[in-house]
A and B are shown apart, each in its own frame.
Chain A
């Protein structure tokens, strides 16, 4: 009994593997389909179990904190890869590079001349009222003029298969470690299939990341000291922090391991103080430096911002990038691309209504049960209403929130997210997915071929986040088109 059943339901969604008839396999999935047809279900299950066990032993986990004791969970992994032909990827890559170039220029402008506000392309009120607009950082000069060194942009596909940008993550995007671990798992589970396909490697991510960090180092020495700053063991992404630090061969430190002397940053080691040149920080701005930001932060380093200001240490990502991944600013990104680059956006946004705009607000309040409504500053799928899937009471509650604080909300028409065959209860069923490629901005901008494909494991669910029942798949970008 093979996994590919004869009655695969592609539904009314764009299916990654099958044409709408549920039977015809798309060219770039043919080899996979052939392999799955000849693979007995028991064999498949064996490989699945082996992968799960490997993840458990390697500790590929994330922590869910809903009580004082965190529970560690394996991020569920589905063995069916998501495959992208090379010509599709070329367009995505160009679009992502264009987008991050424009966003970087936008950030520079916001923290310097603010021309885009004076030219009224983006309403000043939106920026000034943005939670992550860091006034303390105004007129700050950042190394190489790069604000966003690491970006994770979430992409989805609509019912016609068009790729759309769902959101940018410019602060501390996570998931790259899963991308790397998933690839290791797939190589082990399907070695022959993998090599027959010609999949572009992702293993270079660690090297590329380290290179882009080294690019920022001040001119102190030819062996700059790069460290990863983590909030510590209690952070849900701690596994990823240690994983990436090990991949790059750099020390992982917490706030209390660092001390600032004379506007220079040092690590406390058993051999004394060792100077730090570049910090890959996985701590949010708010907690970075109690002297400048939140005074109650135990995670940060007093004087760190002063050291960055003096040019003695570089921070990746830079302070203040959150203003550009605000969900409301998102709606303006196409205009931002046009303003700085004079080009039409290669990748389109999802059509968005802004509650801050009176006409849009009216539409949102009147049609809330048909829309997906998002709070501007929440992450991880929280602070979101999926109108068509919610009760009347839930819609009412959200409507009141939007009316009270319109600047904080946007709404979008529900997109029929694409689906990918996923192993569910012994057979392949379609589940909704998205894609998070990772873009690194160093001397050159590089997009790691692939990224993290997240899948909503619950039937009919559109929520892909790990903390709410999501899982992931390996993403294969092919050298060729099939």
Chain B
């Protein structure tokens, strides 16, 4: 298939996944703070700071906003077009990519993205606050799920399908690491706080962000044990948002895209994916905590970046437009 078309399918998929994940992140954390009346101002600020830190956009945020509060963070992450990672910016980008390849996707897929885009254009932070943020985020998640479902139901299992899935799982894996990272950035509790109400509530929020609370409870006991949540989200091979699951998908689709049929991977990207998968199959949570959870998550992010970049360069590369040579006067 044309590189340009693969490129658009890949990014359409990534941007929708990204928008959904940010919606989750914001929603759960808003809910968390509502639930937890007992937090003082300093802890609140830390909490919101940590969310910004986990997105990696702290510098950009500081350029435009003075302090991290529920309002400013919602504004920044949901509506601010100056932030290329905001929900609005992502949906706009997803729609643009979808439009470029409109004849490749089904009418329903296009209509779903288009409707989400129109809905977002009609909202702003004040509306969201007035109407109840929960509604707003629910709408976004629903649209993303609908889109994925329609894709599953109406898109042929062809090369295009591989790029869509590859993009989705790369994005999802990356966002899962960031959801986990939020917990890191909140100052580590001292010994007496581990297992305490705040700590537990924070882990619960992390699981909720990934819609993983029920799945976690089925897999473990109903009590939320520290680090058990992290273990679940990193190593579970059956929960679709866990790192292990995502990287297994990435490995599979990557090999199909790069036509790697041999047992030993040939390209750097395939090798990196295979190694990461092996780590996720064999490491233990204790080893990761020893190494440092934050450091581990950062490494995973870098690996995912490299894999994505190499696949883009190899298969989806179509260069920018030409410039004309300067002329010489006579």
Contact = CB atoms under 8 A, between A and B. Distances in A.
Interface of A: 57, 59, 233, 242, 246, 251-254, 256-257, 267-271, 290, 295-296, 298, 302
Given A233-B100, A252-B103, A270-B3, 16 more contacts: A233-B99, A233-B102, A242-B103, A253-B2, A256-B319, A257-B4, A267-B2, A268-B3, A268-B318, A269-B1, A269-B2, A269-B3, A270-B2, A270-B257, A270-B316, A296-B324
B107 interface: yes
B6 interface: yes
B315 interface: yes
5 contacts: A242-B103, A246-B103, A268-B317, A269-B3, A290-B324
A242 B5 CA distance: 14
B257 A256 contact: no
A267 B2 CA distance: 7
Interface string B294-322: 00000000000000000000011111011
B102 A257 contact: no
Contacts of A269: 1-3
A251 B5 CA distance: 11
Give the interface size class of chain B: 20 to 34
Contacts of A270: 1-3, 6, 159, 163, 257, 315-316
A271 B259 CA distance: 9
Contacts of A233: 99-100, 102
Interface of B: 1-4, 6, 99-100, 102-103, 107, 159, 163, 257, 259, 315-319, 321-322, 324
A255 to B, nearest CB: 9
Contacts of A257: 2-4, 318
B28 to A, nearest CB: 36
Contacts of B321: 256, 298
- Which of A57, A59, A256, A290 lies at the interface centre, i.e. has the most chain B CB atoms within 10 A of its CB? A256
Nearest to B162: A270
B107 A256 contact: no
Nearest to B102: A233
Contacts of A268: 2-4, 317-318
Nearest to B3: A268
B215 to A, nearest CB: 35
Contacts of A302: 322
B103 A256 contact: no
Going nearest first, the 5 A-B pairs with the smallest beta carbon separation are: A295-B324, A270-B315, A268-B3, A242-B103, A298-B321
Contacts of A251: 2
A246 B103 CA distance: 10
Contacts of A295: 324
A176 to B, nearest CB: 17
A137 to B, nearest CB: 21
